[in-house]
Structure 1
Amino acid sequence: MRLPTSTDLYAWAWRIAPRLPEWPAQAAGAVAADVTWLLHTDGVKQLERNLARIRPGLSARELRRLSRAGMRSYMRYFVEAFQVAGFSREKVLARVRPTGVPAVAEVLTRGDSVVMALGHSGNWDLAGAWAAYDLGPVLTVAEKLPDGLYEQFVAFRNSLGIEIVPLEDGNTFRTLLRRAGERPQVVPLLSDRDLTRHGVEVQIAGLPARVAAGPAALSLATGFPLVPVDVHYERLRGEQRRAAGSRWGLVIRLLPAIATHDESGQRRGVQEITQDWVDVLMAAYAQHPQDWHMLQKVFHADLDMERLARSHGEG
């Protein structure tokens, strides 16, 4: 008898999860989060190291409490990500409270696209579905996954109205550049971690870390504005909770565009622009740290920098 592969499990989840009632699916997610947290897995330990840096001064007990909330938020996202394909437009809109929409809508109306810098916070799949419904076409990048998962993943995102460009060395940026200019659309890029040779060194909470150059580079190359986007959860009550079918809603804050030129009109550098959007998003994450789902290494202190440099041919 053949054991199910990860592809089988993902395919099953995308097929079954949209049919499940909200409360048992989320209850199962909360149990999975608590078990993982209690086991204090490597991912949980890394989450705690990351959270301790953006929220310094927490006691050990406070940090553990925060990481538990973080794992519950992460599993909430995971369950929703599989269920969102079955959401109606009305349910998506009922779950989302956006701010800053008029400024972005104005750019799209005049025929330009908008580059967006996002982190792994809140529910970026639901945010993408909302944008496809309420803003315009959505174009983004995704890493190629093994064992046939990529095709499943692309089909899932396409069902939400999100077009995917595969992450491929040497081709991704050129493809994204060409496609972004074909029509007005939003181009959200998850960028709060990047260990490739193209990653940019920035300071997060005064500590060196690596993030993606993509948002700044694409904005400079196209002339399209670069908008940081903060995504986090909030509790719903009353009529909105009934309409959403959930006690949790999503806040999507489209923040003021980052300056790509200085006061004299000269282009700013990619690193400088990147540091600006990182500062904006990390300040937001410090206000709702439980929704920053960063279970991977992003700070230099956690990375083997010599090995990283060798893998990129830099040493």
Structure 2
Amino acid sequence: MLSYYLLKCASWLACLLPRGLADQIGWAVGHLAWPFVTKKRKTLAITQVKACLHVDDAEAERIAKASGVRFGPMLMEVLRFPVIKRHAEDYVSIQGLEYLQEALKQGKGGIIATAHSGNWELMGGAFAQAGIPLVGVAEQQRDQGADRFMIEMRTLIGMHITYKSGVREMFDMMAKNWMIGLIMDQDPSVKDGVLVKFFGQATNYLTGAASMGRFRTVPIFPAFMHRDDKTGRHTLIVSPPIYCERTKDKRADIQRTTQQLATLTEQHIRKYPEEWFWLHDRWKSVRRGYTKEQIAEFMSSFQPPSQRGEGPKGGGISRH
């Protein structure tokens, strides 16, 4: 548990620093850490940037590096949660908070669907400090000390934390009128995802938000963070609610809603590409879990009937 006490000490020191100095140190840490990222991981990030944004090598490298370096100031903000908690409104402004407040009046809870863009750790704290009861769904860290520290910081800033395996607890908390925060953009296993079109590519996408929203008939709120690096302030943008239809075709309902969420995520990333986590291998499950024929069949469903050799009533989205 040595890592826990080291992180606690780092947090104590970070909280003693003036905000501006802490931010500068965060950026310095990010730049110092970048050379230690493996060449394989850097190449992966650059390749994904080029495939998604269609930029040249130099621009792709710049975006990939900016995405990695941002972990420095992000870490510093997490270490400073004890300070940020007392002045959350000085760090984050929330647009669309009224959508969540209105949903809470219905007493059924809801789902906040977001991505690894901006400081997603601070996002949950901002909602909690604004009076939104939020369950943060976390992935357990391999290092027990780091995991204990992160749970402690998230709880300190107002979130209730459960691990991804705690599905029953999520439904129980939703029934008590809590919002469930789900990060939706990681690459899932084939059995846990559905194919969507994401940056013009067939992409396996997590279905948790759509599945839970359909099962409980609760609203899903897409929400994303953006950081103004000149001021160090964040803007948290909450979109109007999405509802998953409940027809006889459950898988089609979930796929359709998941596609909506993927499209909104893509729009945000295109606007702020430096803030997304490009170092994650986003298309691994597609490469390993789907055949070229399955991918081609899925992508053909997005083409006009005249381009895929079908009549006006051509087939819908392929299901696997």
Q: Does the CA-based 8 Å contact 1:18-1:87 persist in structure 2?
A: no
Residue equivalent to 1:212: 206
Residue equivalent to 2:185: 192
Residue equivalent to 1:224: 218
* Residues 6 and 43 of structure 1, relative CA distance in 2, 3 Å threshold: farther
Residues paired across the two proteins, number:
286
Of residues 260, 282, 290 in structure 2, which corresponds to 1:298?
282
Residue equivalent to 2:232: 248
Amino acid paired to 1:248: G
Of residues 28, 32, 39 in structure 2, which corresponds to 1:35?
32
Residue equivalent to 1:98: 94
Q: Does the CA-based 8 Å contact 2:112-2:220 persist in structure 1?
A: yes
Q: Does the CA-based 8 Å contact 2:195-2:205 persist in structure 1?
A: yes
Query: 1:39-54 residue pairs with structure 2 within 5 A?
Result: 41=38, 42-54=40-52
Q: Does the CA-based 8 Å contact 2:64-2:279 persist in structure 1?
A: no
Q: Distance in 2 between matches of 1:302 and 1:215?
A: 20
Q: Distance in 1 between matches of 2:178 and 2:142?
A: 29
Runs of 5+ unmatched residues, structure 2: 291-320
Residue equivalent to 2:161: 164
Q: Render the CA deviation track for 1:200-249: whole Å, top value 9, x for unaligned.
A: 3322112132332211111112111011112111245xxxxxxxxxx211
- Shift of residue 39, structure 1, vs aligned partner: 5.3
Residue equivalent to 2:300: none
Amino acid paired to 1:79: M
- Shift of residue 93, structure 1, vs aligned partner: 0.8
Residue equivalent to 2:242: 258
Runs of 5+ unmatched residues, structure 1: 237-246, 307-315
* Residues 86 and 291 of structure 1, relative CA distance in 2, 3 Å threshold: same
The runs of 4+ residues in structure 1 deviating greater than 6 Å are 264-267
- The structure, 1 or 2, with the larger RCO (C-alpha pairs under 8 Å, 6+ apart) is 1
Quick one: percent identity of the two aligned structures? 20
TM-score, normalisation: structure 2:
0.80
Q: Does the CA-based 8 Å contact 1:285-1:292 persist in structure 2?
A: yes
* Residues 174 and 83 of structure 1, relative CA distance in 2, 3 Å threshold: same
Q: Distance in 2 between matches of 1:302 and 1:269?
A: 21
Of residues 115, 118, 122 in structure 2, which corresponds to 1:119?
115
Q: Render the CA deviation track for 1:158-193: whole Å, top value 9, x for unaligned.
A: 10110011222xxx22221122112x2222111111
Q: Distance in 1 between matches of 2:118 and 2:269?
A: 10
